[in-house]
Structures are given as C-alpha cells and as structure tokens.
C-alpha cells in the first residue's frame, strides 16, 4: 500500500466506526419518543396551515398588485 491509501484508510475508519455506533444506538433507543413524534405532527400541521395562508396571500397580491413578484424579487 502506498502512503495515500494508508492516509485514506486512517481517515475513513474512525468515521465508519462512529457511523456504525450511532446507527446502532438509534436502533436501541427506538427512534423518536412519543413526545417528539407528536411535536413533529404539530409542526407539520402548522407548516401546512402557513403554506395555505401564504398561497392565499399570494393570490390576493396577484390580483391587487400585479407585478409584485418581479418588484420584490420573488419568482
């Protein structure tokens, strides 16, 4: 083996070991807790409501202020 190969192996081995340890640890933990899962559901619902509101506001602006997207830099 040349020096470059040894250097690459020396760098990659600890990274691979850390990845294996972390992935194994996650499986033992059982993933996200019930509280984390509920928070994700709540955040997803909030994001969907915000997205609908933004779409409504954009439709209103398209009607009331034609060309607002080009003036504000929004495409």
Based on the fold, state whether residues 39 and 64 are members of the same structural domain. Answer: yes
Based on the fold, state whether residues 47 and 60 are members of the same structural domain. Answer: yes
The residue-averaged pLDDT of 3-27 equals 73
For residue 53, pLDDT beyond 90: yes
Based on the fold, state whether residues 6 and 41 are members of the same structural domain. Answer: no
pLDDT the model gives residue 63: 93
Residue 5 structural domain: 1-31
For residue 56, pLDDT beyond 60: yes
Based on the fold, state whether residues 67 and 37 are members of the same structural domain. Answer: yes
Based on the fold, state whether residues 14 and 43 are members of the same structural domain. Answer: no
Kind and range of the H or E run holding 16:
helix 3-29
Residue 18 backbone dihedrals phi, psi, to 5 degrees = -60, -45
Based on the fold, state whether residues 43 and 59 are members of the same structural domain. Answer: yes
**Residue pair 62/68 in contact by the 8 Å Cβ criterion:** yes
Total domains, the chain: 2
Q: What is the mean pLDDT of the chain?
A: 80
What are the tokens at 29?
A: 């933990």
Query: Sign (positive/negative) of CA torsion 7, 10, 14, 15?
Result: positive
Based on the fold, state whether residues 23 and 36 are members of the same structural domain. Answer: no
Dist. CA 57–CA 48, nearest whole Å: 14
């Amino acid at each position: 083996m040349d020096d470059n190969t040894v250097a690459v192996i020396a760098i990659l081995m600890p990274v691979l070991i850390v990845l294996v340890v972390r992935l194994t640890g996650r499986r033992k933990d059982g993933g996200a807790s019930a509280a984390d899962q509920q928070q994700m559901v709540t955040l997803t619902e909030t994001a969907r409501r915000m997205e609908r509101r933004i779409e409504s506001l954009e439709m209103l602006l398209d009607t009331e202020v034609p060309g607002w997207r080009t003036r504000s830099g929004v495409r």
